[in-house]
Amino acid sequence: MDKPLRRQVRCKVCGGTAAQVLDHTCGSCLKKEPERIIQDLIRKAHSESRRIPPVLPPQDPRGVTCYECGNLCRIKEGEYGFCRLRQVQNKRIHSKVTGREAVGIFYFDPLPTNCVADWVCPGGVGAGYPQYAYSPGPEYGYKNLAIFFGACSFDCLYCQNRSYHGMAIRGKPLFTVDEITESLDDKSACICFFGGDPSPQMSFALSAAKEALKEKKGEILRICWETNGNIHPKYLDDMVKTSLSSGGIIKFDLKAWDEKLHRILTGASNRQTFKNFKYIYREYFDKRTIPPLLVASTLLIPGYIGEAEVKNIANFLVKLNPQIPYTLLAFSPQHMMTDLPLLTWEEANECLEAAKRVGLERVRLGNTHLLR
């Protein structure tokens, strides 16, 4: 359960915007701290966030390595991996989920729906019509099958969908591939895997995607992903192919550029995320331009993710291709960061202009109703 709203605090070092859970220290000041202090802060903040072990992705030198996501947890006998779906028993990994059964829920959203790619996607603007869209504009009358996974490979202190964590701990509710395919009808235009995150349950997601495409063979059914990108590389090619062939979009949430800041905010590294994004771009991006295969997004967090981080992420994207769509999302105080304020229009526009100045040509603000 989220913390009640707390009084806004200021950075104890510079007086800027900061959060209580991060020891009243803003992002800029945290970047300057030595690793020893950062490690203690990360463990303390994520202990409060998770309230149940493991606090961080386990790396026991004698543990059994899990190869299901980018964390590569090394799990001690009797303990769980970071996603809480897998436990080592008798030196083997035992999972609460399979390639046919997952933890989470699914439901239908009418199109056009709230999606970070809605301004470039078939469901939102008819991109790729008539091959990938049912209409040349917004697909009114059609729907998206939203698959919310009850586990994640990160632990964001500002998580907007925290209900996933309880699902992972309980190992339920469960749903199956057959339930997904049986729910599809002639108004089902796309499937979006999100959560939580699909990264700890990619085997199931790929099974569901492939069987759904068979079920709707000859009809439009786009396979989309909204992910933190911390996916094990063994899944990337199959993941991309489901979207590439169906007109779907892969949406990476690039949460921070600075790895230290990313570890502070999410409990995990961002290295695999950026490696995966670069791989997908280099191997597949030019194989389909409309709708775009890859879309990036970043949540703007007062005091932590602002102009400096956006500029660096935008530089990364520009070096790949200035045409990669990039959505900047307004912050809503959630989970452990309810004491942070809403973002101002001025702050959001500074980030928008920073991304444009480095050369990105397709940038927009999302969730603008949250700006003050």
90-111 residue pLDDT tens: 999 999 999 999 999 999 999 9
> What CATH number was assigned to the domain covering residues 101-370?
3.20.20.70
CA 42-45-50 angle, to 5 degrees, is 110
Q: Which of 192, 187, 252, 195 has the alpha carbon at shortest distance from 220?
A: 187
Q: Which whole number is the average pLDDT over 295-320?
A: 98
Q: pLDDT tens digits for 224-270?
A: 999 999 999 999 999 999 999 999 999 999 999 999 999 999 999 99
Burial per residue of 268-301, b for 16 or more beta-carbon CB atoms within 10 angstroms, e otherwise: bbbebbbebbeebbeebbeebeebbbbbbbbbbb
What mean pLDDT do residues 35-41 have?
95
Taking CA atoms, 157 is separated from 58, 74, 178, 218, in Å, by: 18, 23, 34, 43
Tell me the CA end-to-end span of the chain in Å, nearest whole number.
Answer: 26
**Band of residue 7 on the pLDDT scale cut at 50, 70, 90:** low
Q: What pLDDT, on a 0 to 100 scale, did the predictor assign at position 2?
A: 45
CA atoms within 13 A of residue 154's CA, in its CB half-sphere: 31
Structure token pair of residue 202: 């990619």
- What pTM did the predictor assign? 0.95
Q: Give the pLDDT confidence score for residue 351 in this predicted structure.
A: 98
pLDDT score, position 9: 81
Question: What is residue 3's predicted lDDT score, i.e. its pLDDT?
Answer: 42
Q: Which two tokens stand for residue 316?
A: 């990364």
With a cut of 90, say whether residue 6 has pLDDT above it. no
